[in-house]
């Protein structure tokens, strides 16, 4: 289908093209000067001591988990309401995800649901910052300290978001941010692993580059693989960093436009931003008992919608890790709806979306 308003549309322009052309002109396509520059910009922006590039957010989580050096078969607390990769990375790293429930209005991990999932094998927790604001990191950090757990933050959607003044991904022992095409800034595929710990950073560099600190040597200190990216991606990343604030401001303005247009409509649930967190909207999210009717009506009008995450503890390849129902994650996946928030979402589009929603909710419910 040809959407009038697609779900995703990255903001890019001549600067990205010029950056790409530079890589081709230098004939330096593998990791080189642009990767170096991109890493520097990321460390500066996030305040992390070490910013280590990775091919995508999924592999960044995998690397981050390996760098935690947990005993094989350790259990890791993971919210059930997140993207599949949060848990698949845990499994591929040789560990066991233990799913926990989330808060019904912030959609992030419910700190009060952690205790009952503790076992002697739980060694780490993965707070996930969904939809552009922070998980309750004060509570998570306190819980982790009390139970001697390491913290790996999935801040895939969290570029630009701060929690009590700290950039997401720099609060736990290690954190990751994704640069997939639908994230706040993008390199197509790509990600960064953040840590302040020198030894973990060293380990990450070895893991990502065949067990060597530098390419060009054939003596390998350790087992590693190839998790490098290209200078072409980093060139796009550097250009995206230069327009990051423009992207963030635009998203916030459109979010405010949505809240103004939709906020008063009864029976629509909106995201509650976590206390102490800024918001860099990832989508405009809604909850409604009549979600399916809204999807049909919006898509008929050319607006591509997307549902919420499907609970991980119910996913066919993960259900074997399930330890029982997690009602909030299940409820959110039934009632949640994402609207696009990219720069194609003009005030006219927001108004038209508002009209479709109002009309649908005013009609008699479809049984
Ligand atoms: C996008 C995303 C990932 C995975 O990142 P990729 O770069 O697509 O591999 C992981 N977790 C969350 C919460 C995400 O949104």
Q: Reduce the DSSP state of residue 209 to 3 states and report it.
A: strand
- Which residue out of 7, 54, 57 has the highest number of ligand 1 atoms within 8 Å of its CB and is therefore the one to mutate? 57
| Mean pLDDT of the residues in the chain | 97
Res 162 pLDDT > 80: yes
- Which residue out of 56, 58, 102 has the highest number of ligand 1 atoms within 8 Å of its CB and is therefore the one to mutate? 58
Please tell me the predicted confidence (pLDDT) of residue 303. Answer: 96
**Which of 339, 239, 244 is CA-nearest to residue 284?**
339
| Distances, alpha carbon 213 to alpha carbons 202, 204, 226, 342, in Å | 8, 10, 12, 39
Band of residue 364 on the pLDDT scale cut at 50, 70, 90 = confident
Spacing of C-alpha 35 from chain mean position: 21
Please tell me the predicted confidence (pLDDT) of residue 367. Answer: 65
Candidate from 2-6, 55-59, 179-183 with smallest mean pLDDT: 2-6
Mean pLDDT of 355-367: 90
Please tell me the predicted confidence (pLDDT) of residue 114. Answer: 98
Mean pLDDT of 245-274: 97
Please tell me the predicted confidence (pLDDT) of residue 216. Answer: 82
β-strand pairing of 75-79 with 122-125: parallel
Residue nearest to atom 5 of ligand 1 (CA): 57
Res 366 pLDDT > 80: no
Question: If you measure from the C-alpha of residue 157 to the centroid of ligand 1, how many angstroms do you get, rounded to a whole number?
Answer: 7
Q: Reduce the DSSP state of residue 255 to 3 states and report it.
A: helix
DSSP states along 27-92:
T--BSSHHHHHHHHHHHHHH--SEEEEESSHHHHHHHHHHHHTPPTT-EEEEESSS-THHHHHHHH
Mean pLDDT of 170-185: 98
Question: If you measure from the C-alpha of residue 78 to the centroid of ligand 1, how many angstroms do you get, rounded to a whole number?
Answer: 14
**Residue written as token pair 């909030």:** 328
Distance of alpha carbon 213 from alpha carbon 221, whole angstroms: 8
Res 2 pLDDT > 80: no
**Which of 77, 98, 91, 83 is CA-nearest to residue 321?**
98
Question: If you measure from the C-alpha of residue 236 to the centroid of ligand 1, how many angstroms do you get, rounded to a whole number?
Answer: 19
Residue nearest to atom 6 of ligand 1 (CA): 57
Please check whether residue 323 is in contact with residue 271, taking contact to mean a CB–CB distance below 8 angstroms: no
Q: Reduce the DSSP state of residue 338 to 3 states and report it.
A: strand
In this structure, the number of other CB atoms found within 10 A of the CB of residue 27 comes to 6
Please write the tens of the pLDDT for every residue from 205-228. 999 999 998 888 888 999 999 999
Please tell me the predicted confidence (pLDDT) of residue 217. Answer: 82
Please check whether residue 15 is in contact with residue 137, taking contact to mean a CB–CB distance below 8 angstroms: no
- Ligand 1 atom with the smallest distance to the CA of 182 is 1
- What residues flank ligand 1, with Cβ below 6 Å? 56-58, 82-83, 85-86, 128, 130, 154, 156-157, 178, 180, 191
Portion of the chain with pLDDT greater than 90, in percent:
95
Distance of alpha carbon 228 from alpha carbon 250, whole angstroms: 31
Please tell me the predicted confidence (pLDDT) of residue 298. Answer: 97
- Radius of gyration (C-alpha) of the chain in whole angstroms: 21
Please check whether residue 39 is in contact with residue 52, taking contact to mean a CB–CB distance below 8 angstroms: yes
Res 328 pLDDT > 70: yes
Res 1 pLDDT > 80: no
């Amino acid at each position: 289908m040809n959407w009038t308003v697609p779900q995703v549309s990255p903001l890019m322009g001549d600067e990205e093209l010029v950056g790409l052309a530079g890589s081709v002109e230098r004939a330096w396509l593998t990791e080189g000067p642009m990767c170096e520059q991109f890493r520097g910009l990321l460390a500066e922006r996030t305040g992390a001591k070490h910013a280590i590039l990775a091919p995508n957010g999924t592999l960044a989580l995998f690397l981050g988990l390996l760098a935690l050096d947990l005993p094989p078969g350790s259990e890791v607390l993971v919210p059930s309401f997140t993207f599949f990769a949060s848990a698949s990375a845990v499994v591929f790293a040789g560990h066991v995800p233990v799913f926990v429930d989330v808060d019904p209005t912030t959609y992030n991990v419910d700190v009060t649901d952690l205790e009952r999932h503790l076992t002697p094998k739980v060694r780490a927790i993965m707070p996930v910052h969904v939809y552009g604001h922070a998980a309750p990191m004060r509570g998570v950090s306190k819980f982790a300290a009390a139970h001697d757990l390491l913290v790996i933050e999935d801040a895939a959607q969290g570029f630009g978001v701060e929690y009590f003044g700290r950039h997401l991904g720099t609060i736990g022992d290690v954190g990751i941010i994704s640069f997939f095409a639908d994230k706040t800034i993008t390199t197509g595929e790509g990600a960064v692993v953040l840590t302040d710990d020198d030894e973990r950073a060293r380990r990450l560099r070895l893991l990502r580059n065949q067990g060597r600190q530098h390419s060009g040597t054939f003596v390998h200190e350790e087992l590693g693989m190839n998790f490098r990216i290209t200078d072409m991606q980093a060139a796009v990343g550097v250009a995206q960093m230069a327009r990051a604030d423009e992207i963030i401001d635009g998203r916030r303005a459109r979010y405010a436009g949505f809240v103004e247009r939709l906020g008063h409509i009864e029976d629509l649930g909106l995201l509650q931003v976590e206390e102490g967190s800024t918001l860099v909207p990832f989508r405009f999210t809604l909850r409604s008992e009549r979600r399916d009717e809204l999807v049909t009506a919006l898509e008929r009008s050319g607006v591509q919608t997307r549902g919420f995450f499907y609970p991980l503890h119910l996913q066919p390849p993960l259900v074997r890790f399930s330890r029982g129902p997690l009602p909030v994650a299940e409820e959110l996946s039934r009632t949640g709806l994402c609207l696009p928030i990219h720069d194609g979402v003009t005030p006219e589009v927001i108004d038209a979306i508002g009209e479709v929603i109002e009309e649908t909710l005013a009609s008699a419910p479809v049984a």
